[in-house]
Structure 1
């Protein structure tokens, strides 16, 4: 059996079992039986169940990081770069919706070293994302009245909650959804949005005065 086949089979079985009955309630034996492999084969690629849970999320995180790097490397204007990154994050999150659901539900059960590794890699991704927003702020594209960290958290909070409400079999496919959420985010951080809010606030104050 090829390496990719074993890893894919084990990962798929683990995701389905973790999603249906919970990480804590799933044994390694159940995973190998569902995957149709031996424990020896599983432990050849995953040192523990903890390693398996980390691997489920690591595949998504690695993919998104590779795609982020490729998008930034194209050297397109800031607005186009940020839009492309946002759309990609949402589309890949939908593609790995079940994996993301399992991970965010069970991440607190990871060992301390694994949690630290996830935090480090997610921070690196978010820092690159924040850097694009900061560049746009310097160019006058995006609002500066709200900290960049808040703007970034605003976007990723929508992404992390996708599994709570989005259904792939629903009326809107991932591409439509990705552009809708991206449009909402970009409009909310546009410099013009801050100006409009300031103007509205000024008008209200004048009327009340």
Structure 2
């Protein structure tokens, strides 16, 4: 993540956060915002609603988040940070590129499902963010996609993947499918998050490996 993105998504520095029910104040505020945005919608949830439900003061909230937009941004930014950290770890492994791509492809499915309320709420309300915040999200997602694309390109260069594969198309195809998961996956369905991650990764690799 760039310095601009890191500054925008990290809690403000200052006094150490106190805790509420075992969570730091920023964590408590974000978790409460996820619940309220899900129940009432972003537009119909006020800052007062969030701080009252979180059990903190407005002053405590404004110490970490300057607006309701900041809360919405952080809901998704923390998922992106997790996914980027995981992806960079997989990309750095001393392993065949096909295995690294498989691990990364499965991980993005699992992390989306494990954070499904955050992902659903964010994309439902993305248009509510200001232009600067939307641009920050696009930059962070683009960085993730470019890292993933680079692994696919490495597989082509190493001869592990089909020569006729277009890395850009792979990224668009795969992440389009991942983005659609929120429309149909259910916790009581046939596949767990880990099982679905393996299935998606296997389908991707089957399309990349030489026939």
Q: Match of 1:113?
A: 132
- One of 72, 86, 111 as aligned partner of 1:67: 86
Q: CA RMSD in A?
A: 1.5
Aligned residues: 192
Structure 2: tracts of 5 or more residues without a match: 1-17
Residue deviations 1:28-73 (CA, integer Å, cap 9, x gap): 1111122111111111111111111111111001111111111122
Q: What is the TM-score of this pair, normalised by structure 2? A: 0.86
Superposed, which structure 2 residues align to 1:1-209 within 5 Å? Answer: 1-2=18-19, 5-192=24-211
Is the radius of gyration larger for structure 1 or structure 2?
1
Superposition deviation, residue 146 in structure 1: 4.7
Higher helix share: 1
In the alignment, the residues of structure 2 paired with residue 151 and residue 103 of structure 1 have an alpha-carbon distance, to the nearest angstrom, of 24
Residue deviations 1:137-170 (CA, integer Å, cap 9, x gap): 1222323435321110111112111111101232
Q: What is the TM-score of this pair, normalised by structure 1? A: 0.86
* Higher mean C-alpha displacement, 128-137 vs 182-191: 182-191
Give 3-state SS (helix, strand or coil) of 1:18's partner.
helix
In the alignment, the residues of structure 2 paired with residue 105 and residue 155 of structure 1 have an alpha-carbon distance, to the nearest angstrom, of 21
